[in-house]
Amino acid sequence: MSVFLPDQKWQHQEGLSDLIKALGGDSMIRFVGGSVRDTLLGLPVNDIDCATRHHPEKTMELIRSAGFKAIPTGIQHGTITALLPTKSPVEITSLRRDVSTDGRHATIAYSDNWEDDAQRRDFTINALYAEAESGLVHDYFGGLADLKAHSVRFIGNPETRIAEDHLRILRFFRFFARFGQNNPDPEALAACIKRANDLMALSRERIASEVLKILALPDPLAVISLMIKSGIFKPILPEITADSILPLQRLVERERLYHISGNALLRLAALLPEGAEMARSVAQRLRFSKEQKKYLIALLTAEEEKPLSLAWAIGKEEAIARFLLSDRDEATVNSAIALLKNWERPVFPLKGGDLIAKGLPAGPLVATILQNIQKAWVEAAFPNSDWVQEKATIAIAETMATKAER
């Protein structure tokens, strides 16, 4: 029995039907991958991906001739992005087949055969194609049955597919967490366990991106537990062990309790032992950006635990994150987060010039006294300017008296 793509709002975006016609309609272009899978599952579709029989240069020519902007986002891989009038992107990739693979990169050739293109995809549920006008779904490897059964299976032999692209190990766990139920496909899991060391051949950036995608899932606890039990982290993040599960579980529960969106980097921090050097080592290994590295170090470095003092030292969001990670009792955590949520960082109402104007001679002592007063101000929970001015007057008087005695 034929299956057709259910009607969803994304299929009626302004200009999409005109773009499809310009590229030749059902015989030349089909929706593919996530947009088909998620529509069949009744999930929202964020990205529109298409496959076409046209070569990329012809695709670009047809897009532009129809009055749309064409961007060669991945032309070396056959991908052109068309911008609809709403500025929504539609990624259109030429049909391809693999000529050779080395676990990290693939050499491809263009094809005009839909099944060739489907064969090089990773999982059956990602190899579903829908004719862009009629909506007729084409299923070459049992993806519809797997969707119904909530099963994530590799296309073909799992070990062979992993050898073609080692990142598929991590992708298997991410897609199982999203779409799987009950136990994972035994052949797929066995292949991932057997080939886990292949992950060491991947670029750190690709590993980091996929691990963070897994941690960004609504509740990654079960799949992270499965990955630890299966030894998947050992080659890439050996710091993540069975002892990491309890801190992650506590964090996920607190995110729900305080209505805080899951943060992948924060969840990674929950999986790691504390320490600035640990954070620095992992951040460097995964080629994190400067901002990501700074954030991870802030989360894993022991700091002042008074909520407002901590927020002043490392930032409000980072302080909230530290208390979410904390193993302190729930009453303490609840009190700290309630205090921090509405806190705005105040401006320290004293400058070096103010001290000089009060009679303190210019020199190194100005910075020292300023820092001491600021420290006291933070510890006192940011009292008003009068308090600061009084402290400044006292500090200057004491300093001048000490100088006079010498």
Q: What pLDDT does 400 receive?
A: 83
Distance, CA of 321 to CA of 318 (rounded, Å):
5
Long-range contacts of 181-189 (CB under 8 A, 24+ apart): 181/150, 182/150, 184/152, 184/226, 185/151, 185/152, 185/153, 185/154, 187/153, 187/154, 187/158, 188/152, 188/153, 188/154, 188/158, 189/230
pLDDT at 104 over 80: no
Q: How many residues does the chain have?
A: 406
Instruction: Find residue 354's DSSP bridge partners.
Output: none
Q: Is the pLDDT of residue 94 over 80?
A: yes
Please tell me the pTM assigned to this model: 0.88
Q: What is the pLDDT of residues 291-322, one digit of tens each?
A: 999 999 999 997 767 899 999 989 999 999 99
Residues in Cβ contact with 225 at an 8 Å cutoff, skipping those fewer than 6 apart? 245
User: In which band, very low, low, confident or very high, does the pLDDT at 103 lie, cut at 50, 70 and 90?
Assistant: low
Which residues share a beta bridge with 80? 92
Rounded-to-integer distance, Cα 170 and Cα 203, Å: 13
What is the SS3 assignment for 176?
A: helix
Q: Which domains does the chain have, with CATH numbers?
A: 1-149 (3.30.460.10), 154-237 (1.10.3090.10), 239-345 (no CATH), 352-405 (no CATH)
For the chain, give the mean pLDDT.
94
pLDDT computed for residue 76 by the predictor:
84
Closest listed residue to residue 292, CA positions, set 272, 318, 320: 318
* Res 406: pLDDT: 60
Contacts of 164 (CB under 8 A, 6+ apart): 98, 101, 103, 106
Cα 100 to Cα 122: distance, rounded to the nearest angstrom: 16
- Listed residue (310, 281, 308, 305) closest to 293, CA to CA: 281
Phi and psi dihedrals of 134, rounded to 5?
Answer: -80, -25
Of the pLDDT bands very low, low, confident and very high (cuts 50, 70, 90), residue 44 is: very high
CA angle at 394 for the pair 390 and 397, rounded to the nearest 5°: 140
pLDDT in tens, 130-185: 999 999 999 999 999 999 999 999 999 999 999 999 999 999 999 999 999 989 99
- pLDDT above 70: residue 111: yes
d(CA 198, CA 182): 27
The Cα–Cα gap between 77 and 379 comes to 57
Whether residue 230 contacts residue 186, with contact meaning beta carbons closer than 8 Å, is answered with no
What's the rounded Cα separation, in Å, for the pair 80 and 3?
28
CA 36 – CA 367 distance, rounded (Å):
63
Instruction: Report d(CA 255, CA 221) in Å as an integer.
Output: 13
| Beta pairing class for 48-52 and 29-32 | antiparallel
Q: Say if residue 240's pLDDT is above 70.
A: yes
Strand locations in 95-143 (E): 96-101, 106-110, 128-131, 137-139
DSSP string across 229-240 = HTT-STTT-TT-
Following DSSP, what letter does each residue of 67-102 receive, concatenated? T-EEEEEEGGGTEEEEEPTT--EEEEEE-EEEEEE-
Position 102 pLDDT exceeds 70: no
- Cβ(161)–Cβ(168) below 8 Å: yes
Angle at 119 (CA atoms; ends 34, 226), nearest 5 degrees:
60
